[in-house]
Amino acid sequence: MIIEWFGQACIRVQTKPGPNGEVTCIFDPFDPKFLGLKLPKLTADILAITHNHEDHNYQAGIDGNFFLIKDPGEYEVKQTFLYGIPGFHDNREGVERGSITMYLMQSEGLALVHLGDLGQTELTDTQLEQLEGADILIIPVGGTYTLDGKQAAEVVKQIEPRIVIPVHYYLPGMKFKLDGADKFIKAMGAKMPIAIDKLKISKKDLLTEETKVVLLSA
């Protein structure tokens, strides 16, 4: 499995779930004019959108005859399984910013979770049951519109993944002011990792029970 980040919450996952070849899943593409960052040309087999905000729902920026997922439920596309789990964009059950769909993706024996713009600081028992067994967690950390660094670190403790990838934090050129990733990494008690272009991972790479922070270059 190969994981790349393009800014905000836009993630590309390339996986080979079976003999039918590679599957590409894009999560939360953003409108470059709205956000202020560039979005490269991306092609998808699956497009998963966590909520209908302009920095997460830019379908026009994605090529390919993709299968679109926008709501909670269970989906299977080319031997790749996605489970949409209801969540909230704020800490008041959606009163301030509405609801979101979190995703659990299963492929190659790995479970990847994308939390979108999660704003809940305390996940429910039902949500935790559905997110159980997450190997890789993609979590927003920039604050203001979603979890801040300390809150995100608490959510990581609730889910207990092997690898956590922070997203949705400030990058030069953005039109919106968010915190950087440093506050989250400090809250995790980790040293600032060297950012990498992409994460290549398989099930055999997950030998430790400890949570490792991986920083991706946008």
The percentage of the chain sitting over the pLDDT mark of 70, rounded to a whole number, equals 99
**pLDDT value at 94 more than 70:** no
2-17 mean pLDDT: 96
Total-model pTM: 0.95
The residues, any chain, with a CB within 8 Å of residue 113's CB and separated by 6 or more, are 102, 103, 104, 105, 131, 134, 136, 137, 138, 159, 161
Q: HSE (CB half, 13 Å, CA atoms) of 120?
A: 22
pLDDT at 40: 95
**pLDDT value at 96 more than 80:** no
Contact 25, 3 (CB under 8 A): no
CA 158 to chain centroid: 16
The percentage of the chain sitting over the pLDDT mark of 90, rounded to a whole number, equals 83
Per-residue DSSP letter, 194: P
